[in-house]
Amino acid sequence: CRRHRFVKTSAVVLVFIMGILEKISEIEREISRTQKNKATEYHLGVLKAKLAKYRAQLLEPQTKKSEKGEGFDVLKSGDARVALIGFPSVGKSTLLNVMTTTHSEAASYEFTTLTCIPGIIEYQGANIQLLDLPGIIEGAAQGKGRGRQVIAVARTADLVLMMLDATKGEVQKGLLEAELESVGIRLNKSKPSIYFKQKKAGGISVNSTCRLTRVDEKMVMMILHEYKIFNAEVLFRDDYTADDLIDVITGSRAYIPCLYVYNKVDQVSIEEVDRLARLPNSVVVSCNMRLNLEYLLEKLWEKLSLVRVYTKKPGEPPDFDGGLILRRSCTVEHVCHTIHRTLAASFKYSLVWGTSTKYSPQRVGLHHVMHDEDVIQIVKK
Q: Which residues of 75-103 are buried (b: 16+ CB within 10 A; e: fewer)?
A: eeebbbbbbbbbbebbbbbbbbbebbeee
Percent over 90 (pLDDT), the chain? 48
- Quickly name the fold that domain 80-189+254-304 has: Rossmann fold (3.40.50)
Angle between helices 242-250 and 41-59 (to 10 degrees): 30
What confidence score (pLDDT) does residue 273 get? 93
Torsion angle of C-alpha atoms 84, 88, 91, 93, degrees rounded to 10: 60
User: Mind giving me the DSSP string for 295-329?
Assistant: HHHHHHHHHHTEEEEEE--TTS---SSSPEEEETT
**CA 185 to each of CA 56, 180, 191, 223: distance values in angstroms, whole numbers, following the listed order:** 12, 5, 11, 21
- Give the model's pLDDT for residue 60: 62
Helix (H, G, I), strand (E, B) or coil at 223: helix
CATH fold of 306-380: Ubiquitin-like (UB roll) (3.10.20)
Output the pLDDT for position 29.
86
Backbone angles phi, psi at 378, to 5 degrees: -100, 130
C-alpha R_g of the chain = 25
Give per-residue burial for 319-348: e unless 16+ CB within 10 Å, then b: eeeebbbbeeebbbebbbeeeeeeebeebe
Residue 55, sorted as left (phi over 0), alpha (psi -120 to 50) or beta, turns out to be: alpha
Phi, psi of 132 (to 5 degrees): -90, 110
User: What angle do helix axes 147-154 and 169-182 make, rounded to 10 degrees?
Assistant: 80
Type of residue numbered 154: A
Ranges of each domain in the chain: 2-59, 80-189+254-304, 194-239, 306-380
User: What per-residue confidence (pLDDT) applies to 321?
Assistant: 84
Q: Classify the phi-psi angles of 8: left when phi > 0, otherwise alpha if psi is within -120 to 50, otherwise beta.
A: alpha
- What's the confidence (pLDDT) of residue 10? 55
Q: What is the pLDDT of residue 25?
A: 83
Which residues of the chain are under the pLDDT cut of 50?
2, 4, 6-8, 62-71, 107-112, 140, 145
Q: How many CA atoms lie within 13 A of 67 on its CB side?
A: 7
Integer Cα distance of 6 and 313 in angstroms: 62
In this prediction, residue 65 carries a pLDDT of: 46
Residue 224's SS3 state is helix
pLDDT at 104 (0 to 100): 65
Check whether the bond before 361 is cis (ω within 30° of 0): yes
Distances in Å between the Cα of 322 and the Cα atoms of 214, 300, 311, 318, 335 are 51, 21, 8, 9, 13
**Residues 170-196: tens digit of each pLDDT:** 888 988 888 888 888 899 999 999 999
- Check if the beta carbon of residue 106 is closer than 8 Å to that of residue 112: yes
pTM of the model: 0.81
Helix (H, G, I), strand (E, B) or coil at 95: helix
